[in-house]
Amino acid sequence: MRNTRSLLSAFFLLFGSASAFLPLRPMWGSTSSPHPDSSSFSLHLRAALTQLQMSKEDPPKIIISGAPASGKGTQCEIIKEKFGVVHLSTGDMLRAAVAAGTEVGKLAKDYMDNGKLVPDNVIIGIVKDRLAEPDCIEKGWLLDGFPRTAAQAEALEEAGVKADCFLFLNVPDSVLVERVVGRRTDPQTGKIYHMKFSPPEDETILQRLEQRSDDTEEKVMVRLEQFHANEDAVKGKYADISVAIDGNRAPSDVSAAVLAAIASSKAKV
Ligand code: ADP
C-alpha cells in the first residue's frame, strides 16, 4: 500500500513538476478527449517510471557560476525547489564556519572580510567531503560558488566528481556593484532585499535588515577582480557542459533559461 502510494505520488510529482520544463506530451493524449486513452496512459506511466528510475539513479549534478551578486542565490532557491537537489553554497558554508568559530572559520575570516578568496586547501576538502555525504549522492547537488579557481576544478576532477552542466550567469560589472551595495538580508527569514530595487514594505523588517560586511563598494571591487582573474580558467574546465545565461534581466526570465538548460543537460546524460 505504501509502495503504491509512493509510486503514485512519484508519478504525479513527475507530471506536476517535470511538465513545467520537460517536453512531455499531455497525459491523456488529445486535450479535447473527455476520457483518458488507456494505451496513451500506460505509455505515459511507463515514461514517467523510467524517468523516475533515471532520476533516482542519476540525480542532477549542477554547478552555477557567476560574479558576486550575479543572482546565483535567487536561482539556487528555484533550482533546489524544482529538482530537490542539495544546495551547497561555499560562501554560506564558510560564513557558518566563521560564526561557529571553527578552525576553518578562523582560517577563512580575514580573507572573507577583505573580499579575497579563501585558500584552495581550506575549501577543497570541505566541499569534497560534503559531496560524498549520502544526501548529495541520493538527491544530487547544486554547487554554488565552487569551483572558483582552476585548482578547485582540478580537485573535483581528480575526485571523480562530474557535473551535468555548468551554468554561467553573465551580468555587467557596473550592474553588479549597484546590486551589491544595496543588498541587505533579513536575519530572521534569510530573505534578501535591495534598498533600491526591492525594499521591504514592512518597517519592522526594514529595521532589522543586515548588510554583509563584504558588501561594500571597496570590497566588491576586490571580489570582482578576484573573480575575473579566475573566470577564464574555470570556464575552460567546463567548456563541454557550459551554458552562458544572460543574468541582466528579470529573475523569472533568468530562471526560465536556467531550468531549460538543466532539463536539456539531463536529456543528454
Ligand atoms: P560572492 O557573492 O562574493 O561570490 P559568496 O557568499 O559566494 O559571495 O562568498 C563569500 C566569500 O567566501 C568570498 O568572497 C570568499 O572569500 C569566500 N569563498 C566562497 N567560496 C569560495 C571558494 N570556492 N574559494 C575561495 N573562497 C571562497
Give percent of the chain above pLDDT 90. Answer: 74
Ligand 1 touching residue 123 (CB < 6 A): yes
Other CB atoms closer than 10 Å to residue 116's CB: what's the count? 16
pLDDT one-digit tens code per residue, 125-144: 999 999 999 999 999 999 99
Which residue numbers are catalytic?
72, 148, 183, 212, 223
**pLDDT higher than threshold 60 for residue 262:** yes
Q: Identify the pLDDT of residue 129.
A: 95
Q: Identify the pLDDT of residue 46.
A: 46
**Boundaries of every domain in the chain:** 66-264
**pLDDT higher than threshold 80 for residue 149:** yes
The overall average pLDDT reported for the chain is 83
Gap from CA of 22 to ligand 1 centroid (Å): 33
pLDDT one-digit tens code per residue, 222-242: 999 999 999 999 999 999 999
Of 27-41, 104-118, 137-151, least confident by mean pLDDT is 27-41
What is the spatial distance between Cα 72 and Cα 245, in angstroms, rounded to a whole number?
11
Ligand 1 touching residue 83 (CB < 6 A): no
| 115 Cα nearest atom in ligand 1 | 14
Ligand 1 touching residue 94 (CB < 6 A): yes
Ligand 1 touching residue 145 (CB < 6 A): yes
Gap from CA of 123 to ligand 1 centroid (Å): 10
Q: Residue 14 class from Cβ within 10 Å (0-12 exposed, 13-18 middle, 19+ buried)?
A: buried
pLDDT one-digit tens code per residue, 48-70: 444 444 456 789 999 999 999 99
Q: How far is CA 177 from CA 69, 190, 198, 208, 224, in A?
A: 8, 21, 16, 23, 9
191-201 as b/e, with b when 16 or more CB fall inside 10 Å? ebbeeeeeebe
Topology annotation, domain 66-264: Rossmann fold (3.40.50)
Which of 75, 112, 113 best tests ligand 1's pocket when mutated (most atoms within 8 Å of CB)? 112
pLDDT one-digit tens code per residue, 185-203: 999 998 889 999 999 999 9
Q: Identify the pLDDT of residue 177.
A: 96
What is the spatial distance between Cα 269 and Cα 257, in angstroms, rounded to a whole number?
19
Ligand 1 touching residue 79 (CB < 6 A): no
Q: Identify the pLDDT of residue 57.
A: 75
Radius of gyration (C-alpha) of the chain in whole angstroms: 21
Where on the phi/psi map is residue 2: left (φ > 0), alpha (ψ -120 to 50), or beta?
A: alpha
The pTM for the full model equals: 0.79
| 148 Cα nearest atom in ligand 1 | 23
